[in-house]
Amino acid sequence: MQDNLSFKNIFRRETKLASYIIICLTVVVLSLSYAMFFKVDGNSKNQVVKAGDLVFTYENSSQTISNEKSDCFLPMTTDETSLYLGTCDYKLSVQNTGSLKGAYTLKLIAKEENTIESSKLKVVVRKQVGDVLEVVSGYENGKVVSELTNGILIEDDALESHTTTVYSISLIVDESLATEADTSKVLSYKIEGTGLVHESQPIHTDPTAAETILAKGETEELKFDNTTDNNLRYIGSNPNNYVSFNNELWRIIGVFNNIDDGTGKKETRLKIIRDEPIGEYSWDNKASGTGSSTSSLGSNDWSDSSLQIVLNEGAYWNRTSGSCPSGQNGATTSCDFSSTGLTAEAKSMIGNTKWNLGGTASYTSSSNGLASHWYTYERGTEVYSGRPTEWIGKVGLMYPSDYGYATSGGSTTNRETCLNTVLYNWNGSNVSDCKNNDWLYNSENHQWTLTSHSGASYGMYGVYSDGRMNYYHAFVTTIVASPALYLSSNVKISGGDGSEGNPYTLSL
């Protein structure tokens, strides 16, 4: 007993423990040598998060810990824990404002900065019953955090329409397991609510990646494209749109509305593209008579494209080495994606998407070759005879309109003028501001796009290294491929500022 008391005194007097609980990233507990206190960033009242018909309210006005409350983070026995309930807890409420029943799950999630072992922590959950907060069954003696299944505190708890449930959550350092070495460790967790409302609508308490970017609104490097979907796009020669994905740098093309997940459900999602191309490969090079190919020049049907197979089923998708299309009549070259192909974590963040495969045969005049025209072609039905107009899958390529809308223009030719200049003519010296202030332009490489020439079975469009949009034969091998994809709608931005040195980080 004396040892425990001595250790507790050491913890009380000398603690360097930077203990803090983060509740939906708004409530932070800091530790000084003699006192701990809460700091609420940018919100002195309750934080309210609305998700559909569910309203989460995180109460922080009563959560201030002054000097006399520093005992909340001392090592405690199970018996002592009950003494602190009500003074060292974190309250939140869940309200269903809708007319149908909902269900939700509460999770306890360790933040990156947490260094104290979860096996040394216990959590107690109480739920309001009438006017009293009662310990939830199974939490009478506290649950060891490391023994929680995926951090789940409450799973699929039903909430009737127009009702509110209040929870109180306490996190405790287990005296029987804590050591003096733990005084220098950091404790950092967040409480997250997820679930379903109306039996089908996913809910979340943190903003999605798309919502985070949308919240920025229009800036010098973010502009709405004024299309029918009014997408928000990054523009300029080098905007802060870098994101860490697949353990490498990718870039955000923009936030896109009305993206079909393949089931008819429309979502707002983030579209990203790999910062560096994966190599020079044929868009398609199947021999005549193989699949959709009727020519030795390849086929412009993305659904069975040789490159599409590599990206969605082959070496790139499986993060391995193999063969990639290179030249006519099915010729291949070796390709090694064992360190650059998609990881399991990356694949878990990619959303299934209905990609539009519409094309055109006319693109060289002001009446048919502007970025706005390309956007319409891509979503249209003009294709070579027998070709599909849509494809459901994961990994694709950029569209011609992505390239066109990414310009900010410059001092000689502004953005408005660029958007009213035919992409086929962007190689002109009089409009060099257009390509030179477009982060998707690559002066060293020709680049494939996803859009086909509807007048030929093998015609594909790409961005030439001189800046113009023109078409190639699908089998050509001197053109680079840069994978593009739409992230799942529930992916979040968890850190970073979008600069190349501090790219956005992602989480589910």
Per DSSP, 70 falls in state G
The listed CATH number (3.40.50.620, 2.60.40.1180, 3.40.50.970, 3.40.50.1370) that belongs to domain 2-204: 2.60.40.1180
Q: Residue 190's pLDDT is what?
A: 79
Tokens in use for 391?
């494809």
Residue located via tokens 């000689």: 412
Residue located via tokens 């939700």: 104
pTM for this prediction: 0.63
Domain boundaries, the chain: 2-204, 209-274+488-507, 279-484
Residue located via tokens 């008819």: 264
Report the chain (508 residues): mean pLDDT per 10 consecutive residues. 41 39 32 22 42 62 34 61 61 75 83 84 87 86 89 86 82 80 76 64 69 91 93 97 98 95 91 98 96 94 97 97 96 97 96 96 96 97 96 98 98 96 97 97 97 96 97 96 96 95 95
Q: Residue 13's pLDDT is what?
A: 38
Q: Residue 177's pLDDT is what?
A: 84
Residue 469, SS3 per DSSP: strand
Q: Residue 324's pLDDT is what?
A: 97
Tokens in use for 362?
């006319």
In Å, how far are 209, 294, 353, 379 from 299, measured between CA atoms? 36, 7, 22, 20
DSSP secondary structure of 77-144: -HHHHHHHTTTS-EEEEEEE-SSS-EEEEEEEEE-TT--S-GGGEEEEEEEEETTEEEEPTT-TT-EE
Query: In this structure, are strands 248-260 and 279-280 parallel, antiparallel, or unpaired?
Result: unpaired
In Å, how far are 235, 268, 408, 437 from 239, measured between CA atoms? 6, 21, 10, 10
Q: Residue 257's pLDDT is what?
A: 92
H or E stretch covering 164: strand 163-173
Q: How many helices (H) and strands (E) does the chain have?
A: 10, 32
Phi/psi for 72 (5° steps) reads: -60, -25
pLDDT, tens digit, for every residue of 215-250? Answer: 898 999 999 999 989 999 999 999 999 999 999 999
